[in-house]
Amino acid sequence: MKSIIQFMKRNYKVILVVLALSVAMWSFIPKDKASDPEKDKLLIELLTFVIEKGHYNPAAIDDNFSKGVYKDYLEALDPSKRFFLQSDITEFSKYETLIDDQINSKDLSFFDLTYTRLMKRMNESKAYYQDALSSPIDYKIDEEISTDYEKIPYAKNEKELKDRWRKQVKLSTLSSLVEKEKVQEEKSKLKENKDVSKSFAELEKETRESTLKSLNDNFGFIKDLNRDDWFSIYVNAIASRFDPHTSYFAPNEKERFDVSMSGKLEGIGARLQKENDFTKITELISGGPAWRGKQLEAGDLVLKVAQGTGEAVDVVGMRLDDVVKKIKGPKGTEVKLTVKKPDGSIKVISIIRDEVEIEETYVKSSVVTIDGSKYGIIYLPKFYIDFENKDSRDAGKDVAIEVERLKKEGVQGIVMDVRDNGGGSLKTVVDIAGLFIEQGPIVQIKSAAGKKEVLYDRDSKVQWDGPLVVMINEFSASASEILAAAIQDYKRGVIVGSRQSYGKGTVQNVIDLNQFVRGSTYGDLGALKTTTQKFYRINGGSTQREGVKSDVVMPDKYEYLKMGEKDVDNAMPWDKIDAADYKVWTKQHNFDLAVALSKARLQNNPQMQLIEDNAKWIDQRSKEFTYSLQMDKFKAEQNLLEEKNKMYKPITDYKNSLEFMSLPYEDEKVKNDSVLKEKRDRWHESLSKDVYVDEALHILNDMQNGEKSKGLINKTKTEKLVKS
């Protein structure tokens, strides 16, 4: 199952940090279940065996490796340093260079120690935030808080730790309180406002109560984690030290990964979330069986679940993952949900499960007219594929269909938008690139043994030979970078966007760990995603770390922040191999002219200049970690930030005069699908407010009209000179 895996915008460690940050705001006593140390030992053994045998360049499991695991693991458990005391860290530190030995001997004592201590500290911490919110908070005290968690030391004792929690809670309530005051003040200015203004004491109490409720609500979610969940974090701390894209999938995570890659599942087509002890329906997926049935609604609380004619099982208080397992099931089977409606009524709803396509996963397109010429935009959120069913939808086939639909509409240029596209199937990206060239190599792949393979488009048919622009940003990764690099190397289209893409030049395989254990009584062991190959452009260069550099660079508000592959400490290095044999596309005569005209436009575009200035300011703000907890000073700080933000309001207020339209086939679909219509309307609205799309379309226009566009630019410049 070869694929270039979606990287979740950064990498798995960030996801773990987000999880742990959530944990760092509330504490709990977990509902632990009996665990089997022998299963955990087997998992560690399998992990290291598979990585060492299959990884492209496995790191040595030595003291340096141990130090990396130690650091990453503790950061994942307690990123804001609000659980562990310095005495805990001192006790843990003896393992800093011993984890490698423990991996080899399948010794779990370091994990057992940290897990047991974390549970104890979390339980203690619950009292800290409850105490901080139990009485009115004094906002006149002149004190401050630092959120530079990497640099602040661990608390020396429980008194210091309790004070750290107090300050964090105070920052949260202070921010809410200032916002509540501002909203009330704005309402009081409206003549039609008849609400009685609340006193400061009432607002202060409201903020404490809402903060406590928020913490307790999230506590309800976090407490569902069990020892296996925390052990997965430890396993991933080990796996990710080989490289940022090697990670362990627990059984549930593997299932979610498969859904994300294929864009479909079998079930009822509803999104669920935990709300206290209840499971709440938050959204019905358009076209799914629940949506078609028109009985289940967003806001319903699921009380019981029954399989067909079986007995209903009470799911109140059950883990969300366990509820999901009961509701999902094979196509054609029946599930009965006992739900509590928002009006308080109880209803039993029968739904026949079916295959559900997650619409947001799939490609979509739109048409727009500029200066009498019609152009198409194809948005591809990921390079999806169903590995189990070759007849199912995949990105390659779907993009080909969209291209044909756009051709039928008479478009004279196409924008391929792969911004924020983290990758996916290697096969689909080769198929998509092949739509735009006659035939030839698309990407080169090199294995650990040094063997090189070149993947070709062998179809001489060119599905689209007109003007082409590919849009990327710093979150376009992996397969997106293969597509952009191939189009750039062939000089087939103009690459537009961030200074460079993400920089992920590695290939991962997902390996089922169960295949290595015969007659296992341990249940599902999950899967391992490990880096097995590196890919290279057809010009021989790697995209690893360096990414793909845009032909036309447009400023991005996040361009100065460290978010790419090059910013990850153990990312693989850049290198290059021999170029493949390919011929540059020669049929687009206005390529260089279009690039030059775009660069000239951008130099004089005040919107782009404002975005560049905003990027520098965001970079500056990202390095400021100190906040005053004295109300007047906090308000003054916020007022300064608001004034600065007002300067950048034109960025979000931007709107062009272009009208984006759906294709005829979709116009028919939305007549009977209000959810899809709302989604398309929102997308078209966002396109009209997207200055990057605006410029991409103008580049297409320049490629199409050539010297005519140059004349229009020169005419505009002359008019400006005359007016001045």
Q: At 195, give phi and psi (nearest 5°).
A: -70, 140
The answer to whether 255 and 381 are in contact (CB under 8 A) is no
Catalytic residue flag (residue 138): no
One-letter amino acid at 17 equals: V
Instruction: Map tokens 């899967």 to a residue.
Output: 527
Helix (H), strand (E) at residue 248: strand 247-249
3-state secondary structure string across 548-602: CECCEECCCCCCCCCCCHHHCCCCCCCCECCCCCCCCCCCCCCHHHHHHHHHHHH
Q: Record the tokens describing residue 252, joined without a space.
A: 């549930």
Residue 196 CB: number of other CB atoms within 10 A? 6
- Give dist(CA 557, CA 552) in Å, integer: 16
What radius of gyration do the chain's Cα atoms show?
28
Catalytic residue flag (residue 504): yes
CA 642, chain centre distance (Å)? 28
- Active-site residue identified among 162, 167, 382, 504: 504
Q: Record the tokens describing residue 39, joined without a space.
A: 């299963």
Catalytic residue flag (residue 452): no
- Active-site residue identified among 66, 262, 478, 542: 478
- Active-site residue identified among 489, 551, 556, 694: 489
Cα dist from 468 to 209, 377, 420, 476, 663, whole Å:
55, 10, 19, 18, 19
DSSP 8-state code for residue 515: G
- Give dist(CA 43, CA 482) in Å, integer: 34
Cα dist from 716 to 698, 710, 722, whole Å:
15, 10, 10
One-letter amino acid at 161 equals: L
Q: Record the tokens describing residue 609, joined without a space.
A: 């200049």
Strands 301-307, 414-417: pairing is unpaired
Catalytic residue numbers? Answer: 478, 489, 504
